[in-house]
Structure 1
Amino acid sequence: MSRSPRPTVVLVHGAFADASSFAQVIPRLIDRGLDVVAPAVPNRSLLGDAAYIASLVRQIPGPVVLVGHSYGGAVITVAGTEDNVKALVYLAGYALEEGESLGELQGRFPDSGLSTALVHTSFPLDGAAGTGTDVTVRPDRFPAIFAADVDPRLAEVLAVSQRPLAAQAFADAAPAAAWKTKPSWGLVASSDRTINPDVERYGYRRAGMTTVEVDSSHLVMLSHPQRVADLIEEAVRATRD
């Protein structure tokens, strides 16, 4: 009996970061013979971002394993309903329930250090009157909150090159929860100061995921890339059994 084809791994970054946050994981996956796509997420709204990732996934021939870090977990929760998505992997991420928003899930737990370090700035809305609100992390507090176990010089670079998240993303309710029908894996960053680790644990437990814990900052892909690559490969193997 032939095995299923190897899936393409799609890496979905989170807020205040970009696809380069997977820079240490991507070579490890390529070395294991995996095809990898790491798109730039617009970070404008949960519904719009999920629609964008879903459109990319639909154009990939063959099966896909969707990996989401942080806010990217919320994105894959919605985009993961695409037919060719065979598994989901959450990295220090939000696993939303259908009809739930980021703000609602996060509001059930004590705030992390992130809540006092956010900066709000306005930006013009395309094709509409008025402005939207971008959210970033104070650069002077970014290393300790976001990247405490990442090389300090790299953390400084990340702090000043953040990809903002529009405030709208916190309010959008997930129209679907792909983990209800797709096998899922979750990694808890137990020393996370960006998302309360209990938010991660709660979402993963509710979804019945295979869960691991790593003593890591929020940017687990940079501080523990081998562990992350191993978890992704575990999900890949499961899609081919």
Structure 2
Amino acid sequence: MVEHERRSGWKRFWEKGDWWRALILVAGYFVLYQLASLSVLPLLGDLDPESAGYILTVYALPIFIGCVILVVFGLSVGWLGELFARQPIRGSWWMWIAVGVVLLFNVLRFATIDYGATDFGFVAAWLLAGLFIGFAEETLTRGYVVNLMRKAGHGELAVATVSAAVFAALHAGNLLSGQSLFATLVQLGYTFAFGICMYLALRVTGNLIWPILLHATTDPSIFLQTEFPADGSLTAFAGLGNVAVIITGLVLLIFIRGKVGSRDTLLASR
């Protein structure tokens, strides 16, 4: 009985939603993810940074642990079905612009990688890591954070902005790995705009799985094309992808409208 009441209280706490609960969730996830990253350091040994084993250990394994943490949380509050159900608010045609821009440059980056300079195992390791990254970061920010904001009755502009801002803030942790302040600030600007694009992808496709997959192809395409760029003018054009995403996300942000109310409204709309 006591255990049941404890679980009910846990679920009631999160069902109330709001931005500060979203911050608690994200902060808790961030701490656990950082601990997971530190826990894999003894496994590195003398691994070559350009080997599949290195990518799997440094990137894929910690984020996989993050995925497990997020699934466990979803099961504890009973939200997994809710997160991956059809969206309660429909998208507009112009939201496809965000999807198109991100997808276009992902394809261009994959097309301008010098695959002869690397090997299949390394590329496959990045693709697997990208899938884990897409699942974890989208489930957390476009899944849980969006859900928490909507449960509190916030308008969709606030929902989009907070989920994107939280997503960007997560990347401030790169300072801990030695990344420069300037590079981190640039990354925060890009990830905020990218977060807006992913929110629009969520709205217009109607299901969280699509921004997850779109995100899953973004990080590997960026890292692989940066590390192994092919020769040619198309490579230079593909390199403009981050700028295009920043412009797209910031411009489209001003067009976001709509509102989804409390949990009762969410359930009634399905």
Structure that is richer in strand per residue: 1
More helix by share: 2
Same structural fold, with TM-score higher than 0.5 when normalized by the shorter chain: no
Normalising TM by the smaller chain, what interval?
Answer: under 0.3
TM-score, normalising length: structure 2: 0.24
Higher relative contact order (CA 8 A, sep 6+): 2
TM-score (norm 1): 0.26
Larger Rg: 2
